[in-house]
Amino acid sequence: MIHSMKNHWLTVLSVLTVILSSCNWQTDRLKIDVSSIKIPDVSIQRYDQDLFKIPVTDLKNGLTTIQSRYLFFLGTDLNDSTKLADMSGYLMNPRNIDFHKAVQEKFQDLTPIEKDLTEGFRHIKYYFPQIKIPRVYSYISGGDYENPVQFADSVMIIALDTYLGSDFKPYLSDGVSLYKAQRMTPGHIVPDCMRTVVNRLASPNMSANTFLDQVVDAGKRLYLLDASFPSMAGNLKMDYTPEQFSWVSKNESHIWSAIIENRMLYSSDGQTIRVFMADGPFTPAFGKESPPRLGEWIGWQIVKSYMNNHPEITLQQMLLKNDAQEILTQSGYKPEK
């Protein structure tokens, strides 16, 4: 009897060991050592500071002193009277002056952001050795809320005036929605920067017609964001509040059931898709506690499950796989109730 019980518990322990090993493997797939990936440490060039130090009364000479460091912004010709007049107007604009002052108070030191960006770029370089690490600049956009981070031609620019905190009064007076203002904090700078890189590496599939196509397409980009910064909080990857992230984690099975029961997977109806993919304060069908873009969340879970079940599939291969149905089928995705 004792011998039988001993064998029973050994069997149970063996099964548990396999399960725990599997769970650790799934968790650890993206936790890689990038210490050997050599890239220059990110140093954010403070165009926002250097530009506003220039006296408007001696604008041309002042711009000449910083021109070589900021050719991306200033170009090579400083003799254009129209360009100089525009720059003078920009520097004398009371709104830009106020934004600049707030930025100097909020962002005296960008070292933590630089360290996080360096870490993120190392991960990206690990998976995509051919990528060129961008030069990074900060500037005052004057409230370009739709483009807080821009990435083009190996240059990334960060509008620091769009990250001054959800309680920054000009945001609300400018008509920024409260749910968007909640994302306009210093903590969202690195996620937004990495998201712009991800979107360059995996641009949205414009031929994605069905709900499933769009869900999986969004899930791929979120998985790539996951890979680029594994230690980043999940709510920041989704642009959710911690409370919204908690809600969606607890209600994953209910969301999936609603999708299946309403036969949404293969729907091409624009309105149906928008309910689950459009941004907003919440998803109307699930109440005000729910976050928006539930389809993106589900897509992320499907792709994570697929990649965990297929360790032989690389990130590049996953991105190139356009058969959303195949990814879903082979993912074995089935949220626990």
Kindly state the percentage of the chain with pLDDT values over 90. Answer: 86
Partners of 155 in beta bridges = 135, 152
Answer whether 102's CB lies under 8 Å from 164's CB. Answer: yes
Q: What is the pLDDT of residue 152?
A: 85
Read off the pLDDT of each residue in 173-188 and give the average, rounded to a whole number. Answer: 96
Q: What is the pLDDT of residue 161?
A: 98
137 has a pLDDT exceeding 90: yes
Q: What is the pLDDT of residue 337?
A: 75
Answer whether 283's CB lies under 8 Å from 275's CB. Answer: yes
Q: Which of 136, 137, 148, 153 is nearest to 181 (CA)?
A: 148
pLDDT digits (tens, 9 = 90+) for 139-169: 999 999 999 999 987 999 999 999 999 999 9
| Pairing mode, strands 45-46 and 149-152 | unpaired
Q: What is the pLDDT of residue 20?
A: 36
Q: What is the pLDDT of residue 308?
A: 94
pLDDT digits (tens, 9 = 90+) for 106-120: 999 999 999 999 999
DSSP-assigned states of every residue in 225-249: HHHH-TTS-HHHHHT--HHHHHHHH
Q: What is the pLDDT of residue 1?
A: 42
pLDDT digits (tens, 9 = 90+) for 7-39: 444 333 333 333 333 333 344 789 899 999 999
Q: What is the pLDDT of residue 324?
A: 95
Answer whether 55's CB lies under 8 Å from 62's CB. Answer: yes
Q: What is the mean pLDDT of the chain?
A: 90
pLDDT digits (tens, 9 = 90+) for 185-236: 999 999 999 999 999 998 777 777 899 999 999 999 999 999 999 999 999 9
pLDDT digits (tens, 9 = 90+) for 310-335: 999 999 999 999 899 999 999 999 99
Partners of 157 in beta bridges = 137, 150
Token pair 């360009």 is at which residue?
83
294 has a pLDDT exceeding 90: yes
**Residue 329 C-beta-side C-alpha neighbours within 13 Å:** 4
Give the domain ranges of the chain. Answer: 45-201, 211-331
90 has a pLDDT exceeding 60: yes
22 vs 259, higher pLDDT: 259
